[in-house]
Amino acid sequence: MKKFVVLVFAVAALIIMTGLSSAGSRNLLSACLPSCSGVVDKKTKEGFVAEITFRNVGTSEGTWSVNIAFEGERWTWTGMMQKLTLGSCDKRTLTWEGTVPANAPVGSVARLVVYYNDSFQAWAWWIHIVPGAELSITSSIVR
């Protein structure tokens, strides 16, 4: 049953993309990360890199204003907007570097969201905040 539901969604997405790409001069953008999902453990103030490959799936050249954010209930990080121009079927990888905010609580998560022009797409990439402090016993004595 689960495979059937996934198949239905995949077919629906394919039909929608095919319909939109045949709409003429409309430019479409798709994005994919190397594996397109995952959870990355990070400490507060720790750096991270997000690399996203975009492809113009339209039939003519297009230009987009692209940005990313990690958005959660307890913390948010927003990147710097980048301009992206792609010819039909061209692809390009953009990179953002960031730092987990100092006020991100341990145990919290934030999800990657990609913004382009008036659209956005939430991805299954998450940053999970882990403790930065680790306790180590350096000596002991019993008498």
Where are the chain's structural domains? 26-129
Contact predicate 127/109, CB 8 Å: yes
Pairing of β 91-99 and β 47-56: antiparallel
What is the second-level CATH architecture of the domain 26-129?
A: Sandwich (2.60)
From edge to edge, which strands make up the β-sheet containing 91-99? Answer: 29-32, 47-56, 91-99
Torsion of the alpha carbons at 122, 85, 30 and 120, rounded to the nearest 10: 20
The pLDDT tens digits for 19-55 are: 333 333 334 556 554 456 789 999 999 999 999 999 9
Kindly calculate the radius of gyration of the chain based on its CA atoms and give it in whole angstroms: 20
Instruction: Say whether 18 sits in a helix, a strand or coil.
Output: helix
Count of C-beta atoms within a 10 Å radius of residue 128: 15
Predicted confidence (pLDDT) per residue in 87-127, tens digit: 999 999 999 999 999 999 999 999 999 999 999 999 999 99
